[in-house]
Chain A
């Protein structure tokens, strides 16, 4: 495997009961890049994102075929611990979902629970909040409830919380769709910064956002990967007509 590839999907099919949600997906995600997954509702992009850290395991009646290799190991192999996978491949959701605890405890909760052996929790909390560009705003209120933060701050807290687990990859499922434009801009800037140290895979309905922040874009339709290309290519001169129809708003 090329050294810059961190996740490799090989003929992945995914089923909810009898219904197939993803068909023969083969693609690679590159290290320290931002990859965007786009497509209309129901195209399978969020399903694919959740497959990457075994979040779909939590849904009854689902089935995966094919291989998903993370650093060359199949994450669906029998001896793999999904909790360990989720530690290495963190996730941030559409709506900020901080725990109803203090800001400090939101960050320290995961590392404590999984016992990843933190020597200095204060430093980890500070580092995580700094990486999520939230430290300056919350350093004097670490013991206040996270529920008092604004939506944008809560989302950055969730990102900080994910970073505290020292992941390699961050999955983001429409992380700014519930945020105002300023908070969105902050998260987008943060993503640019984070890609120096992490690989980011983001699902977004906002195509301008995909164009702004991602290096590579994958267009999905009805469970198929239609086109996966450099973002600049997708938005200026895509190879597939179907992609062009979607991104130019000629769909249906």
Chain B
């Protein structure tokens, strides 16, 4: 059923602006993850630096969106679906901002890794990154289209990412045990993997909030907590 519009067109516009802002913020963070992983795969420090610089825009937009949400809470006293949308938006903008920070973490590790010889070919990391990017993209799709099934799919993918993270961790342990000179690089790669895993947690957090927004049911703690 198509959503009816508010009698107040200004209010309608204010809510739409927040939705648009979230979509744009989501696009920026997706790009940040992609560039961070590209800088690692292609050993391109210039791209990594771009991720660090671009994070300012993500932080600024996060603050701006949060302020807009608070303004609506204060001035419009939203109820029902509008209330659930605004509280969801406040949470989602926080998740996206953290995802941006984690992309920066990955880029910073990439810069350090690029200064040393490559430890090993990256096989599982790009796979993991592709799934994580898909999760972030899908979590935003579920928000835009109000789609519960897509949100559920994001939750399911989180376990796949967790498993990959553990697999990478075990593999890197063997490198470290075999050759102590590899420890520094292996630890940096572990950080990258851990950051991807945490991005997946945030994507799941977004999907959980979208589920709350649509159904009014809080599913956050029915499954694994965000670490």
Q: State which of A208, A238, A251, A252 has its C-beta within 8 Å of the C-beta of B80.
A: A238
Determine how close the nearest CB of chain A comes to the CB of B78; give it in whole angstroms.
7
Closest A-chain residue to B11, C-beta based? A249
Q: State which of A207, A208, A243, A245 has its C-beta within 8 Å of the C-beta of B4.
A: A245
Interface size on A, residues (CB 8 A): 18
Tell me which residues across on chain B come within 8 A of A247, comparing CB atoms: 79-80
Central interface residue in B3, B78, B81, B83, by most chain A CB within 10 Å? B81
Determine how close the nearest CB of chain B comes to the CB of A181; give it in whole angstroms.
14
A29 at the B interface (CB under 8 A): no
B74 at the A interface (CB under 8 A): no
Closest A-chain residue to B85, C-beta based? A248
Would you call B1 and A241 a contact (CB within 8 A)? yes
Docked complex Cα distance between A247 and B80 (Å)? 8
Docked complex Cα distance between A33 and B81 (Å)? 26
- A interface majority secondary structure: helix
- B interface majority secondary structure: loop
Docked complex Cα distance between A35 and B90 (Å)? 32
Determine how close the nearest CB of chain A comes to the CB of B142; give it in whole angstroms.
18
Closest B-chain residue to A239, C-beta based? B216
Inter-chain residue pair count (beta carbon < 8 A): 41
Q: State which of A237, A243, A251 has its C-beta within 8 Å of the C-beta of B84.
A: A237
B120 at the A interface (CB under 8 A): no
Closest A-chain residue to B82, C-beta based? A248
Tell me which residues across on chain A come within 8 A of B5, comparing CB atoms: 250
Would you call B77 and A244 a contact (CB within 8 A)? no
Docked complex Cα distance between A234 and B77 (Å)? 14
Docked complex Cα distance between A244 and B5 (Å)? 12
Closest B-chain residue to A247, C-beta based? B79
Q: Which of B1-42 contact A (CB under 8 A)?
A: 1, 3-8, 11
A235 at the B interface (CB under 8 A): yes
Determine how close the nearest CB of chain B comes to the CB of A104; give it in whole angstroms.
41
A236 at the B interface (CB under 8 A): yes
Would you call B80 and A249 a contact (CB within 8 A)? no
Tell me which residues across on chain B come within 8 A of A208, comparing CB atoms: 77
Tell me which residues across on chain A come within 8 A of B7, comparing CB atoms: 249-252
Docked complex Cα distance between A211 and B78 (Å)? 11
Determine how close the nearest CB of chain B comes to the CB of A250; give it in whole angstroms.
4
Would you call B77 and A248 a contact (CB within 8 A)? no
Closest B-chain residue to A244, C-beta based? B80
Determine how close the nearest CB of chain B comes to the CB of A34; give it in whole angstroms.
18
Closest A-chain residue to B80, C-beta based? A244
Would you call A235 and B6 a contact (CB within 8 A)? no
Tell me which residues across on chain B come within 8 A of A237, comparing CB atoms: 80, 84, 215-216
Would you call A236 and B6 a contact (CB within 8 A)? no
Would you call B84 and A248 a contact (CB within 8 A)? no
Q: State which of B81, B215, B216 has its C-beta within 8 Å of the C-beta of A248.
A: B81
